[in-house]
């Protein structure tokens, strides 16, 4: 009986040991796979300029001020980003000024936005050129003595005191559209005809000789905020300009 019992115990021992080893291997493999899956970090697609523009726009509060259209902001932000990429703006630049000349001159159609803080610093009236239109802007030019506004992206430069008081030089960045701005003395300045009283009397804002003129009381604080290499965008839904400006090209279209 002992001779039969001993071999049986031996067989059971080895069989049990085999299953324990297999269980251990299985557990170890499962733990390794679990650890590897935890170490795997999903790779997200890099955000596009349009994604960033949408996020910033949604975060900006337009309470109690005129709301800037999202598509206008997206175009302005795209140009701002492209100007940065080409070194036209400093990498820490975070101020974006937008004039939407598709709107009535009786509306506050200028916005100065702090992109870091995601808030509007100024929302103001702004004039277009005498020969650009009456209440609404219609015609634009890059020509000397045209008395018309010029579309496109500008880089703000230095200030000076001239015939219109405290003024800000603007460097036009769109070839053929506003690159004659300095030559034409297209600058930002204050003007008495940019006021609510003028609108009440004339049913429209006063007009400049092509300069983006602002209310006299706001000229100094606005100019001091955006002077020194910041971005200004004068927008109008001109298809020729929008399709040809190098600053409005996306990475996919370059």
pLDDT in tens, 185-218: 999 999 999 999 999 999 999 999 999 999 999 9
Domain parsing of the chain, residue ranges = 1-42, 49-248
pTM of structure: 0.82
For residue 106, is pLDDT > 60?
yes
For residue 59, is pLDDT > 50?
yes
Strand (E) or helix (H) holding 53: helix 49-59
pLDDT of residue 4: 46
Q: What is the pLDDT of residues 119-159, one digit of tens each?
A: 999 999 999 999 999 999 999 999 999 999 999 999 999 99
CA dihedral in degrees (64, 70, 73, 77; nearest 10)? 130
| Distance (Å, whole) CA 56 – CA 62 | 12
Decide: 116 and 94 in contact? Cβ < 8 Å: yes
Q: Which CATH class is domain 49-248?
A: mainly beta
């Amino acid at each position: 009986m002992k001779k039969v019992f001993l071999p049986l115990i031996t067989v059971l021992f080895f069989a049990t040991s085999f299953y324990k080893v297999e269980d251990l291997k299985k557990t170890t493999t499962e733990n390794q796979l679990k650890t590897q899956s935890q170490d795997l970090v999903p790779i997200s697609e890099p955000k596009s300029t349009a994604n960033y523009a949408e996020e910033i726009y949604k975060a900006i509060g337009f309470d109690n001020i005129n709301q800037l259209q999202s598509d206008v902001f997206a175009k302005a932000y795209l140009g701002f980003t492209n100007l940065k990429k080409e070194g036209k703006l400093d990498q820490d630049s975070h101020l974006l000024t937008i004039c939407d000349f598709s709107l009535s001159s009786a509306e506050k159609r200028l916005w100065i936005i702090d992109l870091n803080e995601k808030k509007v610093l100024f929302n103001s009236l702004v004039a277009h050129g005498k020969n650009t239109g009456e209440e609404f802007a219609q015609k634009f030019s890059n020509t000397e003595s045209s008395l018309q506004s010029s579309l496109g992206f500008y880089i703000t430069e230095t200030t000076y005191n001239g015939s219109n008081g405290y003024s800000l030089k603007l460097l036009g960045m769109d070839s053929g559209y506003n690159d004659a701005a300095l030559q034409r003395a297209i600058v930002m300045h204050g003007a008495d005809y940019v006021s609510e009283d003028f609108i009440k009397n004339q049913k429209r804002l006063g007009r400049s000789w092509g300069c983006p003129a602002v209310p006299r009381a706001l000229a100094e604080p606005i100019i001091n905020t955006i002077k020194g290499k910041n971005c200004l965008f004068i927008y109008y839904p001109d298809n020729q300009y929008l399709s040809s400006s190098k600053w409005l090209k996306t990475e996919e279209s370059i």
